[in-house]
């Protein structure tokens, strides 16, 4: 399994944004290192959420294909009833029931 690829630029921008805004936890103002840890945590959460959505989408697509394969019996041709239909509507007139 290959390692996930995180957007490091977005992580650093997020960390600097938190640090410059003076993000607080209670009365404690976060240091840059704590802001960086928080940014990494947010990035991991968003990556995992995107991965879950991707896997769910693939699963739904697979289930849809299986369902369609079960439903699809091919197109039906009425050629086998050609003689019957000609007799049923002989002379452009309904002759039945």
Mind listing the pLDDT tens digit for each residue in 19-58? 999 988 888 999 999 999 999 999 999 999 999 999 999 9
Mean pLDDT of 80-93: 63
Averaged pLDDT for residues 11-16: 95
pTM, entire model: 0.60
pLDDT at position 2 is 78
The confidence score (pLDDT) of residue 68 equals: 79
Domain ranges of the chain: 8-92
Q: What is residue 9's DSSP assignment?
A: H
Instruction: Give the Cβ contact number of residue 13 at 10 Å.
Output: 12
Task: Please give the full DSSP string across 25-85, using - where no structure is assigned.
Answer: ETTEEPPHHHHHHHHHHHHHHHHHHHHHHHHHHHHHHHHHHHHHHHH---PPP-GGGHHHH
pLDDT for res 1: 60
Question: What distance in Å separates the CA atoms of residue 38 and residue 29, rounded to the nearest whole number?
Answer: 13
pLDDT above 70 (res 9): yes
């Amino acid at each position: 399994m290959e390692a996930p690829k995180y957007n490091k630029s977005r992580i650093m921008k997020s960390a600097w944004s938190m640090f410059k805004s003076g993000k607080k936890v209670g009365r404690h103002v976060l240091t840059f290192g704590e802001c960086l840890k928080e940014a990494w945590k947010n990035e991991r959460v968003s990556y995992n959420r995107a991965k879950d959505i991707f896997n769910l989408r693939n699963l739904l697509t697979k289930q849809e294909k299986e369902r369609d394969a079960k439903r699809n019996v091919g197109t039906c041709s009425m050629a086998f009833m050609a003689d019957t239909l000609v007799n049923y509507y002989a002379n452009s007139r309904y002759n039945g029931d």
